[in-house]
Structure 1
Amino acid sequence: MKIVIVGSVAAGTSAAAKARRNTEDAQITIYEKDSYISYSGCGLPYFVGGETSDIGKLTPRDARWFKERYNVEIKTGCEVLTVDSAQKTLCVRNLISGEEFTDTYDRLVWATGSKPFKPQLDGIGSRNVFTVKNPQNAVDVDACIAEHPAKKALIIGGGYIGLEMAVALKERQMGVTILELSSHVMPLMDDEMAAILQKYMTGKGIDVLTSAKVTGFQHSNGMARTVMVEGHEPIPADLFIWSAGIKPEVELAKTMGVKLGITGAIEVDNRMQTNLPDVYAVGDCAQVYSLVTGSPMYRPMGSTANKMGRIAGDVITGGSLKFRGVLGTGIFKVFGLSVAMTGLTEKEARKFGYDIEVIHNIKPNVPDYYPGSAEMTIKAVADRKTEKLLGVQIVGGEGVDKRIDVFVTAITYGARAGDLFHLDLAYAPPFATTKDPVLYTGMILDNALNRGRRIMTTHELIEREQAGEKITIIDVRNKKDRDRGFIEGSLHIPLQKIRSELAGFHKDDLIVVHCNKGVSGNAAQNILINNGFRNVYNLSGGYKQYIIEKNRERK
């Protein structure tokens, strides 16, 4: 059997390696038009920032290594021009010599990945406007900084790579501004969680301009000088990073008759097969589907690409592996802040028609008395009907990675919100609190879903007040906290006095209680409910979450 793979980054090399592990009988060839193979795209900002000084560490394997290790022939600098699916032939051009030749296949795997989304804007091709997609891009950025010392960098796009590049360039003592087309950075997150991230970044000296539509660059002598933004004066900079999203590299596959899905990526089944016989697609050029909803999605990640490649390599050589879908899990770090997400956002859950419970849980990663204690905000979304966890977002210090992986596992295996409390998670002061933030998240959700301890988010509170509902808001914090700031129109009744003030309220009143983060608010809620009050909510995330969302709305 002759296996030909087009593309040699995570998915293509993973497919080749798995196929070879399964059989020694196949002839395996990979065509790659670039000179780099099997590189870590997610590591590129860390090279630019100086954490990784050697680009070779991000490209540890070359064609020779694959030949010796797996007996896989990787031909770099070779671009596949056309494919005839009926004859099972390919026309290939050697980009160095210009020679064109024909090859044949029994099984074909598309692993062409993705490419930056770059509209036709005046000046976007300037020498100091870069994308960061492959190792050469990162090397070029580094060389440009060395050759033309830059004082100010401007980044178009506030997604994963854009934010990581902002940190990298800030670490190199540049002034950094991020322009984001949507209303907040990290559009994959819900807005109030992204607001925590954005506030942190501005506190670190990174300027952020949202709802910013770039219309072009003013340039001279081959160099961009300013970027033009709709509704704003031109913004000058010395270095520009274009990081406004990517799209699947599918043009050639489309010309041979491969079907694209609704996301614009190649449509595959759970065995990575396309609509054409003996043709497969893996990695960033292929469409995946949500493990929660079953709906198609496009979420290019190196981890997913490796998984898809392994499945294709197994299937081609007679194996039984099947793709189970993804949650779209992601994590990144901005200075000392970790940001992670998995599953559905609140916005997505509502779009798919779920009746949802939403909570914000603000807890330290380890006990307050232990060195390194840092707060994390966990937002969890659950389905009221099934009580299953649908999605989680976390912003915080150390330990975010551990918690998001627990939530990923829980969602993957269909855990209900109340199941989280029963997890026997590791505990010792250097690692966690006795009631880990994961357990607390389960407790809050279970109380809201099954025990009448309902939660109201800041967004819902503001929405219902604006609709004219009469809501009594009771602040149960101490005077010191109250003096630092309070919700307009709220009543101040410290928790220890609330029992003596119950007579002042009617038991059918709509009451929202709150503290700083939610714990004392829950205690007050319990007192009211146990005394016969029938319509009591605890404010999700307390005053801390309220003020973040309120400030965001003002902006």
Structure 2
Amino acid sequence: MSQKTIIIGGVAGGASAAARLRRLDENAEILVLERGPYVSFANCGLPYRVGELIKSDDDLLLASPGLFRDRFKIEVRTGNEVRSIDTEGKTVSVRDLSTGEDYSESYDNLVLAPGAKALRPPIPGIDLPGVFSVRTIPDAREIQRWIAAKNADKAVVVGGGFIGLEMAENLKHLGLEVTLVEMLDQVMPPMDAEMTRPLEKHMSAKGVRLALGDGVSSFTEAADGKLSVQTQSGAKHEADIVILAIGVQPETSLAQAAGIDLGERGGILVDDRMRTSKPDIYAVGDAVEKIDTVSGQSMLLALAGPANRQGRIVADNIAGRDSRFRGVQGTSICGVFDMAIGSTGLSEKALQRLGVTNYRSVYLHPAHHVGYYPGAETLHMKLIFDSEDGKILGAQVTGKTDVARKLDVIATYIQMGGTVYDLEEAELAYAPQFGAAKDAVNLAGMLAANTLRGDHFPVSPTQAIPEEVTLLDVREAAEWDRGHLEGAVHIPLGSLRDSLDKLAKDQPVWVYCHVGKRGYDAQRMLRQHGYEAYNMSGGWLSWGERVILKRR
């Protein structure tokens, strides 16, 4: 007998579940109820619609009710809001928002895909005209109208995550002066602070004013209609428009009212088949809690990729297949101007928050392809791994080119339980314009594996430099002249063997070069001559412009 499946919400998870279910079951009755005006749209593209890189709202529409009807025989009702769920009677109460009519629909299976809503904390003035969030196509449209109507030339973006960074870039493209306010002392809060510094420097060079480490305390409106953003430090930032990008929270009110269990993070609790605590009710996407495959902990993650995969798994299970969700590792990337920043797995700050201590990290700054081929760009990479078995725990990459490819390779190994030894043996496509015979991913694995084998003794730029060490700079004279660490001894690597008498053996020697390679060579040499030598991982590029770390 054919069964009736109702899907509440479209976009990524809900729309994927609907299409997949039809492909598996030609006889199923499928109804999608979406309270918004669009059933499936690319909300990740909204900042670029505001910046007019994407010229039309239609370009963001991935599927229409007509397409679902004609191609998949799926009924989609936009502008229809589910008001309540009767889990015993297996019905939903719905309101047609265009007519105000209330009606009921029965179901055999119910899929919840309500997504997440923008955080709007109770900050004084947050509901003033001109303070916007960016979650839907109508949101983007209203922002464009406001900018045009006000002839806006100043914007404040609150929040330094994905949407905040993308909105800052796109408002600059429109010619506005942009100030980005972030409560933490870095952009991209999930990442480790030292890995965001190259992007912050790049954004400043592009004209975005960064106000980091300073949370918003209030919004006020001046007599001339302009807005003022006051921060906890007492600073004031004038704006014609304010964009709130301080995060999202799962939309769980409907599930909670129906008695569906929520998890410890406040999202809908599901098992690996995406089943909720109520029979025949599934949930997918931003509203559900996921298991972090690296830490084993429950987490919230608002990303389209996992939502799409979950939608497919729900459809499989409704159709009678035993399909299970593996979990997530938070692989993500953000493009800002002509630079990208991304991560996969756990950051060092996340590990510390979890109380994990048996990990190590290495830093490197390789070119994205061989240096002799024109156009080589520097990548800034951090690899985090288990200090006992070498299992990869996380990676972070920043750079202008090839960031996604490096991350994707490492992310795949993480998903398969890979180790740093796997990375050093990874066989990757090579030609001069694409990579190197020792790809950056291989190099990261080699550095980490050398650490575990006892060949490499790195110290991390997250460590403070003790007084009782000798700092040794092994770069060339021209590099030294451009800048060096205070108190360092300068002996170029080529002269080091003949200058060992200049170094005392009664205290450790911390060695650095430009990116860490010569530092490693120097550390190997010194260790074999009886010195307690350590390589300052990442070299001058990681240590030379440190902000939060000072010599003790």
Tell me the equivalent position of 1:440.
Answer: 443
Q: Deviations over 1:487-506 (max 9, x none)?
A: 11111111111112223445
Tell me the equivalent position of 2:288.
Answer: 286
Tell me the equivalent position of 1:480.
Answer: 478
Provide structure 2 residue ranges, at least 5 long, that are not aligned to the other structure.
none
- Which SS does the other structure have where 2:242 is aligned? strand
Does 2:514 align with 1:516? yes
Query: For structure 1, which segment, 518-527 or 344-353, has the greater mean C-alpha deviation from structure 2 after superposition?
Result: 344-353
Tell me the equivalent position of 2:345.
Answer: 343
The offset of 1:328, in angstroms, is 0.2
Aligned pair in 2 of structure 1 residues 550, 120: CA closer, same or farther (>3 Å)?
Answer: closer
Query: For structure 1, which segment, 269-278 or 482-491, has the greater mean C-alpha deviation from structure 2 after superposition?
Result: 482-491
Query: For structure 1, which segment, 154-163 or 16-25, has the greater mean C-alpha deviation from structure 2 after superposition?
Result: 16-25
Give the number of equivalent residue pairs.
Answer: 548
Q: Which amino acid aligns with 1:472?
A: T
Q: Which amino acid aligns with 1:444?
A: L
The offset of 1:48, in angstroms, is 1.3
Tell me the equivalent position of 2:116.
Answer: 114
- Which SS does the other structure have where 1:228 is aligned? strand
Separation in structure 1 between the aligned mates of residue 291 and residue 202 of structure 2, nearest angstrom: 33
Does 2:454 align with 1:451? yes
Separation in structure 2 between the aligned mates of residue 536 and residue 86 of structure 1, nearest angstrom: 69
Separation in structure 2 between the aligned mates of residue 458 and residue 309 of structure 1, nearest angstrom: 41
| Coordinate RMSD, CA, aligned | 1.6
The two structures have a TM-score, normalised by structure 1, of 0.96
- Which SS does the other structure have where 1:60 is aligned? strand
CA contact (8 A) 2:463 2:549 kept: no
Separation in structure 2 between the aligned mates of residue 54 and residue 214 of structure 1, nearest angstrom: 33
Separation in structure 2 between the aligned mates of residue 68 and residue 320 of structure 1, nearest angstrom: 29
Tell me the equivalent position of 1:410.
Answer: 413
Q: Which amino acid aligns with 2:536?
A: L
The offset of 1:419, in angstroms, is 1.8
Q: Deviations over 1:9-39 (max 9, x none)?
A: 1100111111111112211111111001211
Q: Give runs of aligned pairs for residues 123-522 of structure 1, distance below 5 A.
A: 123-219=125-221, 225-352=227-354, 353-462=356-465, 465=466, 470-505=468-503, 507=505, 509-522=507-520
Q: Which amino acid aligns with 2:330?
A: G
Aligned pair in 2 of structure 1 residues 2, 189: CA closer, same or farther (>3 Å)?
Answer: same
Identity %: 37
Query: For structure 1, which segment, 333-342 or 192-201, has the greater mean C-alpha deviation from structure 2 after superposition?
Result: 192-201
Separation in structure 2 between the aligned mates of residue 323 and residue 60 of structure 1, nearest angstrom: 24
CA contact (8 A) 1:127 1:224 kept: no
Query: For structure 1, which segment, 283-292 or 418-427, has the greater mean C-alpha deviation from structure 2 after superposition?
Result: 418-427
Provide structure 1 residue ranges, at least 5 long, that are not aligned to the other structure.
none
Separation in structure 2 between the aligned mates of residue 255 and residue 439 of structure 1, nearest angstrom: 51
Tell me the equivalent position of 1:537.
Answer: 534
The offset of 1:222, in angstroms, is 11
Tell me the equivalent position of 2:543.
Answer: 546
CA contact (8 A) 1:116 1:131 kept: yes
CA contact (8 A) 1:217 1:224 kept: no
Query: For structure 1, which segment, 505-514 or 285-294, has the greater mean C-alpha deviation from structure 2 after superposition?
Result: 505-514
The offset of 1:224, in angstroms, is 5.3
Separation in structure 1 between the aligned mates of residue 389 and residue 90 of structure 2, nearest angstrom: 48
Tell me the equivalent position of 1:8.
Answer: 10
Aligned pair in 2 of structure 1 residues 270, 94: CA closer, same or farther (>3 Å)?
Answer: same
Separation in structure 2 between the aligned mates of residue 60 and residue 222 of structure 1, nearest angstrom: 41
Separation in structure 2 between the aligned mates of residue 385 and residue 311 of structure 1, nearest angstrom: 35
The offset of 1:550, in angstroms, is 4.0
CA contact (8 A) 2:462 2:549 kept: no
Does 2:527 align with 1:525? no
Q: Deviations over 1:206-248 (max 9, x none)?
A: 0111122212211268955211212223211111101111000
Separation in structure 2 between the aligned mates of residue 508 and residue 320 of structure 1, nearest angstrom: 64
Separation in structure 2 between the aligned mates of residue 316 and residue 347 of structure 1, nearest angstrom: 39
Separation in structure 1 between the aligned mates of residue 365 and residue 233 of structure 2, nearest angstrom: 37
- Which SS does the other structure have where 2:382 is aligned? strand
CA contact (8 A) 2:395 2:410 kept: yes
Tell me the equivalent position of 2:80.
Answer: 78
The offset of 1:553, in angstroms, is 6.0
Query: For structure 1, which segment, 219-228 or 152-161, has the greater mean C-alpha deviation from structure 2 after superposition?
Result: 219-228
The offset of 1:552, in angstroms, is 7.0
Separation in structure 2 between the aligned mates of residue 183 and residue 524 of structure 1, nearest angstrom: 34
CA contact (8 A) 2:455 2:524 kept: no
